[in-house]
Amino acid sequence: MADLGGDGERLVSAARAARETAYAPYSRFPVGAALRFADGAIVTGCNVENASYGLALCAEAVAVAKAMGEGRRGGLVAVAISGGATPTAPCGRCRQVLHELATLGGTDPLVLCAGDVEVREVRLSALLPAAFGPADLDR
């Protein structure tokens, strides 16, 4: 984790810990996410599934909802995601949900996709180029 050093290790650990609380009895694919903010705060989330399968909430979306529910409106500097044994990239919907929070603070967070061993690092803007965002509604 070249760009974040020890902060990156801590963020990946937080995502792995959040994965332990996932409610994923249907897919049996627990996911944990951890958001790091410029003030040093970490907000985590896990996937929360439902007997009505299509209502499943992704870990990243839960984390963003928690953070925004606490009043955060930016400052998102990094995101870690822990899913399967190999690095798990955020789904398309979660890329968009993360983009909303990131763009409010003008940041381009580093996304750490953490497998059991390998951690892949990629900027959110690379995962969601030419993103739709709040500014598009001003036209």
Q: Which residues are catalytic?
A: 60
Question: From the CB of 138, what's the least distance to ligand THU, in Å?
Answer: 29
Question: From the CB of 45, what's the least distance to ligand THU, in Å?
Answer: 8
Q: How far is CA 136 from the centre of its chain?
A: 23
Question: From the CB of 52, what's the least distance to ligand THU, in Å?
Answer: 13
Nearer to ligand THU, 55 or 135 (CB): 55
Strand partners, 82: 32, 114
Nearer to ligand THU, 4 or 31 (CB): 31
The encoded tokens of residue 113 equal 């996709």
Binding residues vs ligand THU (CB under 6 A): 24, 27, 29, 31, 47, 49, 56, 58-60, 90-91, 94
**Residue written as tokens 């899913």?**
83
**Residue written as tokens 């993360």?**
98
Residue 52 to residue 118: CA distance in whole angstroms = 33
Nearer to ligand THU, 48 or 104 (CB): 48
Q: Are 31 and 59 in contact (CB under 8 A)?
A: yes
